[in-house]
Amino acid sequence: MSMFRHYKNRSGLAIPIVLAFIFVATILGSTLIFFSRTRGYDSSRSVQRLQLIHLAQVGLNEALSQIKPLRMQEIIDKKGREWHFKVPMQKFGRSEGWGEVKVKVPGTADLEIVSTGLWKEKGGTEQKLILGARLGYYENSYYESGDESRLKIESEWKFKRLFQKNEE
């Protein structure tokens, strides 16, 4: 019975303890929700960034696959000094992405490729990533002697400079 007498003098203590517990739980819950939303936003931005890089690289690789087997003069004859093409649209859930590639032949031994990856979430703003490369063309010709003399031409494309530019 002495135990009941001890708590009898502390009436009304339960309400402040419960309120303090609710306050602490609310702070912890709010913090948890904030951090989970922030992580979700960061994950979404990371996926967007990876898709932009992927789309720009696809365009760069496609341009290289068209250029590599050809000599410089063949490129100029077949394609001209400036040409462009599009990377087909790709859908990623609620988002879509596509690419645009421009190729320019400014001189007799240089070629520039600019590949733009574009990404747009449904209801969001369009984002861009630009990857580019400047290539040099090197050609060596010589006569090969034997039973028949033949002109041999060895050619090679080399990267001179790679660049990246972000636009949002």
Residues 120/92, Cβ–Cβ less than 8 Å: no
Q: Is 129 left (phi over 0), alpha (psi -120 to 50) or beta?
A: beta
CB 97 within 8 A of CB 119: yes
Q: How far apart are CA 64 and CA 37, in angstroms?
A: 41
What pLDDT, on a 0 to 100 scale, did the predictor assign at position 166?
64
Q: Tell me, what's the pLDDT at 28?
A: 92
pLDDT in tens, 7-45: 555 667 788 888 999 999 999 999 888 888 777 676 767
The pLDDT value recorded for residue 51 is: 82
CB–CB of 84/104 below 8 Å? no
pTM for this entry: 0.64
d(CA 130, CA 85): 15
Averaged pLDDT score across all residues of the chain: 82
Spans of the chain, pLDDT less than 70: 1-11, 40, 42, 44, 147, 166-168
